[in-house]
Amino acid sequence: MNTILKYICPIVLAIALVACGGSNSTKSEPITTASDPTDSSTTITQPEAVYNLHPDDVAEYVEEFKYKYDQLELQIDGVQYDISVHSTDVKGKVVYASYEKGFLSFGFDFIEGVPLAHLYVIETGTGDLGAAQEEVDAYLFGYDISIEFDDDNAIYTGRLNNTAQQDYSVRLVINDSVVSSGSTTLAIEGTIATVKGELGTKTYIQIQDLVNNNPEVTTLLLQTITGSVDDDINSHTGRLIRNAQLTTKVEKGSRIYSGGVDLFASGYQRVYESGAIVGVHSWCCESGKTADQLSEDDPAHKSQLTYFREMLGDELGPEFYFFTINAAPFDSIHEMSDEEMSKYLLKDD
């Protein structure tokens, strides 16, 4: 889910790509413990669990992602650089990536699932993309950009020109790992691991490593989560968190949206600090319809319903899911109230 869009869309790169993401003077930290779906005094027929990405296939999916991600590269005048996805702008149809000397931006239509033939590079000493974009003389603008395909990869080639009229050749290799990677960073301090960025397959790998190698960590602090680029792997990231019995927390100043809320719901305990922003919305699209336009029994809902039943219980899980998709259109955001947070057990009163 992106900050604005929670979408499922077809991707074509000569292959099927996956892209489908106030203040309060008093500090309060209500704690909610995960519900136990098996705790019932009556026998309930469990709905069939449905997965767009089956748990048995996750390990293979992650290994394939790593293989493809290692193929991403930028060449400027024959000098090769590794690149790492920084962020995506669905509406702007661009992907931002970082490399050794700065940042680059290249075109990608997320809805149609096709690369677009434009790119530029920013050579800068700052690690802040916003600050780098203000450095007028740091730009190398692409021209005569063309795209061809080689197996799983899309290859951009062309020329770069800077403000001093210096000219360079450029070659950029991307594949579907760009779309599904996300851009999260994870920092550990004592018993708390802080996550921020856009959720994706990299997030799953980070959380898996955290669980396996940092047993002292008990709390996952979600700082600024713009959404997720791949709901399917994001749900499995949530399962890692739940199975490890990690507490998820949002603090005053945290801003979590869309897929970030899905991840918050996965906490074995959930801590909400007054002042945090928790934003939800619908997703787009299935057969040209947004999630809120589909009937509640539409098969497109089943994977998400399976996830929320696991996290919030058989009754509250589906109720919360349908609340989210009806709370705001896919291109907008509804910021949950304290009352709504309490109703769906995301905080205590």
Q: What angle is formed at CA 202 by the lines to CA 216 and CA 187, rounded to 5 degrees? A: 35
Q: Which of 142, 145, 124 is nearest to 133 (CA)?
A: 124
Kindly report the backbone phi and psi dihedral angles of residue 186, in degrees, each rounded to the nearest multiple of 5, phi listed first: -135, 125
pLDDT tens for 101-117 read 999 999 999 878 899 99
- Percent of the residues in the chain that have a pLDDT greater than 90, as a whole number: 78
Provide Rg for the chain, Cα atoms. 21
Average of pLDDT values for 165-185?
A: 94
User: What is the pLDDT, as a whole number, of residue 35?
Assistant: 54
pLDDT tens for 75-95 read 999 999 999 989 888 889 999
- Kindly tell me the burial class for residue 2, based on how many C-beta atoms sit within 10 Å of its own C-beta (0-12, 13-18, 19 or more): buried
pLDDT tens for 113-161 read 899 999 999 999 999 999 999 999 999 999 999 999 998 999 999 999 9
- For 11, 88, 175, 235, 253, the CA distances from 16, given in Å and listed in that order, are 5, 19, 10, 20, 38
**pTM for this one?**
0.83
User: What is the pLDDT, as a whole number, of residue 108?
Assistant: 94
- Distance of alpha carbon 327 from alpha carbon 181, whole angstroms: 27
Average of pLDDT values for 30-59?
A: 73
What angle, rounded to 10 degrees, do the helices at 302-312 and 231-243 form? 20
User: What is the pLDDT, as a whole number, of residue 47?
Assistant: 87
Query: Which conformational region is residue 80 in: left (phi greater than 0), alpha (psi within -120 to 50 degrees), or beta?
Result: beta
pLDDT bracket for residue 255 (50, 70, 90): very high
Contact of 202 with 173, CB cutoff 8 Å: no
